[in-house]
Amino acid sequence: MKRSNQQEQDQDFRNVKVRADLDSKLYKNYSGYKPLEQETAVVDTINLPRTDKEIQNFFNQYVTARKPCKILGVSPQNFPRDELKPDKVVNYLPSDEILTVETKKDGGFGSGAKRVKMTFGQFMSKLNQEGEHSLYLTTQYYEDDPNAVDSQTETDEEEKDQILSDGEDSVTFQDMHDDFDQLEGAQEEEDVEDYEEYEMRLRELYQPPMTNLVKTLPETPEFLKYLIPQQINIWIGAASTIYNDDSDNSWLSKFNPNEEKLGLGRNVPGGGSSSGLHHDHADNLYIPVSGRKRFTLFAPSDAAKMYTVGNIREIYASGVIDYVPDSKAPTWRQLRDDGAILAHVYNYLLENPDDHKLNDQEIAEFRKFIESDEMQAEKEPPSGLDPPSFSEIPPSVVHTDKIKNKKIRDQILKISSEKWPLFQSANRLTVELEPGEMLYLPTGWFHEVTSFGDSSKSNDVHVAVNYWFVPPTGHQIDAVYDHKDGYWPKDYELTKKALDWARTEDDDDDDEEE
């Protein structure tokens, strides 16, 4: 038995050393802002940049510095805050749009949990009228997200009949453009393919049920107009704003040092619901509409201290974090520093070999890499596996200071310091975010988001919208994407054509009606 214990101690020592070595490497690789221990633990707060000078200063101080920032004010200027509030949103966005909705798992949200299908109207009814707290509407597009898991999506048996009887098929982009349905063979086949591509790109950018806002909501806020937008999402859920001792004691009583997440799940002390500690692969502009959010942030340089589900392969200066495709990330596809999937870039280069002057060796290497990537993408991940970008550390460990039961708090601190010894040395930033404010969060920043409902309302519903942008790699505001192949700017040209088409078609329809 003693020998066994000694072997375990030796293995623990080796694991800690490997982790510490990785931590040192990642800390050096990341060139962006790192919160220092002696600095304040609160993010910078500034007024919304409006003038050219203020926009340039924001770019210099936050975008290129890769530094989070709280912004007082909301952009775009015509952002529909009132229309997106819980009591109005179902009349503003298509109520019969069928969506996939996350279900609460282990006391919180994130990934790996079953998703259910229901119409947007049904979802809002469950939150507003029925006081449902176990559902969360998040991004709807998963296919090309490198950190996504093909988790189970089901139609809730209780909702099947309701979905079928609520109306016809869900609202699609064609509903906004009768011309698309009335091609009647007059268009060339190539034009039809263009329209189909346009529709797909618009739904990728304006995530359902936001798709019908393509005409009214700008795709990029003015002060970030130099960034390429990837997605505009709406996030809706419900969480209590009132601290409940009984609720906390209930899940804290399940504390078990021998379980993977200490038996604590995704619960957070003090009320609210958690997203789980994780990072994204795009720059984020987060805009609360109703309720409030508490962000706890850790720099990409502390990625090794976050004990991610996946094994980190590399962290780029931009903050983009790449993972090893292995059993912990079975469908992972390699990224480069601007967040592009490398196989997609190689496909783009191969489609234009003369423009990029590829030699025979490069062509052969690219094709071989793409073939390997396609095999990787076809793999089926184990059911319930979190994306590699999620931390193994439960949210309650991030917020041990809010656990009122001292005995349990001390036990959790002791066990967590043994299980995740580097985490406590990670320097954090905190920010409280309310309607009328925004958070700019560069890619790769780990964040645990606790959501709280509107304390002035009885239904506890919280609503937020966010923009995701392609991570910039350049240091000039007119050249934020500095790869010579021009992959992202070239790709975005087609999205801009789709936007022009959608807005022009709508204007033409209005003119005909007049």
pLDDT at 179: 37
pLDDT at 368: 95
391: closest CA among 232, 277, 268, 283?
A: 277
Strands (E), 201-243: 229-238
For 461, residues 6+ apart whose C-beta sits below 8 A from its C-beta are 86, 127, 128, 236, 237, 238, 290, 291, 453, 454
50-60 per-position pLDDT tens digit: 999 999 999 99
Among 152-166, 257-271, 460-474, the least confident range: 152-166
Q: Is the peptide bond before 472 cis (omega within 30 degrees of 0)?
A: no
pLDDT at 395: 95
Split at pLDDT 50, 70, 90, the class of 497 is very high
pLDDT at 454: 83
The string over 308-332, giving b where at least 16 C-beta atoms fall within 10 Å of a residue's C-beta and e elsewhere, is bbbebbbbbebbbbbbebeebbbbb
172: closest CA among 190, 198, 138?
A: 198
pLDDT at 149: 41
pLDDT at 182: 40
- Of residues 26 and 365, the one with the higher pLDDT is 365
- Of residues 176 and 258, the one with the higher pLDDT is 258
- Select, from the ranges 39-43, 76-80, 167-171, 229-233, the one with the highest average predicted confidence (pLDDT): 229-233
Rounded to the nearest 5°, which phi and psi values hold at 325?
-75, 100
User: With pLDDT > 90 as the criterion, what percentage of the chain qualifies?
Assistant: 62
Amino acid at 356: H
Among 23-32, 89-98, 333-342, the least confident range: 23-32
pLDDT at 244: 67
Split at pLDDT 50, 70, 90, the class of 505 is low
What mean pLDDT do residues 155-161 have?
41
Query: How far, in Å, CA of 466 to CA of 468, rounded?
Result: 7
427-460 per-position pLDDT tens digit: 999 999 999 999 999 999 999 999 999 877 667 9
**Count of Cβ atoms closer than 10 Å to residue 435 Cβ:** 17
Q: Yes or no: say if 95 and 120 are a contact pair by the CB < 8 Å rule.
A: yes
**Count of Cβ atoms closer than 10 Å to residue 486 Cβ:** 14
What mean pLDDT do residues 207-214 have?
94
Query: How far, in Å, CA of 433 to CA of 445, rounded?
Result: 17
411-432 per-position pLDDT tens digit: 999 999 999 999 989 999 999 9
Work out the mean pLDDT of the chain and round it to a whole number: 84
Amino acid at 103: T
Query: How far, in Å, CA of 364 to CA of 204, rounded?
Result: 32
- Of residues 80 and 142, the one with the higher pLDDT is 80
Q: Examine the pLDDT at 219 and tell me if it is beyond 60.
A: yes
pLDDT at 356: 82
Residue 321 is inside which H or E element, if any? strand 321-323
Q: List, in sequence order, every residue forming a beta bridge with 232; answer none if it has no partner.
A: 206, 467
Q: Yes or no: say if 480 and 318 are a contact pair by the CB < 8 Å rule.
A: no
Q: Is the peptide bond before 442 cis (omega within 30 degrees of 0)?
A: no
Among 25-29, 60-64, 214-218, 378-382, the least confident range: 378-382
Q: Yes or no: say if 83 and 89 are a contact pair by the CB < 8 Å rule.
A: yes
pLDDT at 112: 61
Query: How far, in Å, CA of 58 to CA of 75, rounded?
Result: 14
pLDDT at 146: 37
What mean pLDDT do residues 355-363 have?
88
Q: Is the peptide bond before 257 cis (omega within 30 degrees of 0)?
A: no
Q: Yes or no: say if 213 and 206 are a contact pair by the CB < 8 Å rule.
A: yes
| DSSP classification of residue 49 | P
447: closest CA among 273, 280, 317?
A: 280
pLDDT at 246: 75
Q: State CA 179 to chain mean position distance.
A: 34
Rounded to two decimals, the pTM is 0.88
The SS3 call for residue 208 is coil
402: closest CA among 260, 274, 227, 230?
A: 274
Q: How many residues does the chain have?
A: 514
pLDDT at 157: 41
The SS3 call for residue 23 is helix
Domain at 2-513, CATH homologous superfamily: Jelly Rolls (2.60.120.10)
295-326 per-position pLDDT tens digit: 999 999 999 999 999 999 999 999 999 999 98
What mean pLDDT do residues 332-347 have?
96
pLDDT at 507: 55
pLDDT at 192: 58
Split at pLDDT 50, 70, 90, the class of 63 is very high
Among 83-97, 176-190, 240-254, 443-457, the least confident range: 176-190
Q: Examine the pLDDT at 2 and tell me if it is beyond 90.
A: no
Query: How far, in Å, CA of 445 to CA of 71, rounded?
Result: 17
102-130 per-position pLDDT tens digit: 988 888 887 666 789 999 999 999 999 89
159-173 per-position pLDDT tens digit: 443 343 333 333 344
